[in-house]
Amino acid sequence: MANPADITIVYPSGFALYAIRRRNADGYIWDVGDVAWEAIGTWNNARIDECDIAITDKGGNFYTIPYPADIAGNYTTIVFLQAGGSPATTDAILGSMNISETGKTITHETTLIVRNE
């Protein structure tokens, strides 16, 4: 299936955001570096840089995540607010997006959690 478009997130500009993709069927995490699903037990702070997906701040409170042209099926994209200098498993979750791709159509359901602290 052709890449339909980047996924847009609305959040105040100037923050470091990233995403992790988790396959709904078994909870496996998408390893961006290896371009493969991996068991959740192998995903930790030491390896998070291999699994995090960059989110681009476009300014004006808009961010984009590249649509995953290399994976299909049912999975959840989880968006994190990076607290320190690099992604960590303790970073706050801003929201999630369930994506179902059959090869012909894409549907998604988004849940956002916004905190002002």
**Separation CA 31–CA 59 (nearest Å):** 28
Q: Give the per-residue pLDDT at 3.
A: 47
The reply to whether 1 falls in a domain is no
Residue 12 pLDDT: 92
Q: Which residue has the higher pLDDT, 58 or 101?
A: 58
Tokens matching residue 87: 């992604």
Most confident of the ranges 21-30, 96-105, 107-116: 21-30
Structure tokens at 104: 């012909």
Domain-located, residue 24: yes
Q: Is residue 33 part of a domain?
A: yes
* Beta-sheet pairing, 53-54 with 36-38: unpaired
Domain assignment present for residue 40? The answer is yes
Instruction: With respect to residue 39, please indicate whether it lies within any of the assigned structural domains.
Output: yes
Other CB atoms within 10 Å distance of the CB of residue 43: 20
What are the structure tokens assigned to 30, written together? 């998408």
Higher-scoring residue by pLDDT: 5, 15: 15
The confidence score (pLDDT) of residue 4 equals 57
CB 98 within 8 A of CB 27: no
Q: What is the pTM of this model?
A: 0.82
In 6-109, alpha helices (H): 48-51
Q: Where in the sequence is the domain holding 106, given as residue range(s)?
A: 7-112
How many folded domains does the chain comprise?
A: 1
pLDDT tens per residue, range 63-104: 988 877 777 788 888 999 999 999 998 999 998 888 877 655
* Residue-level pLDDT at 1: 39
Radius of gyration of the chain measured on its C-alpha atoms: 14
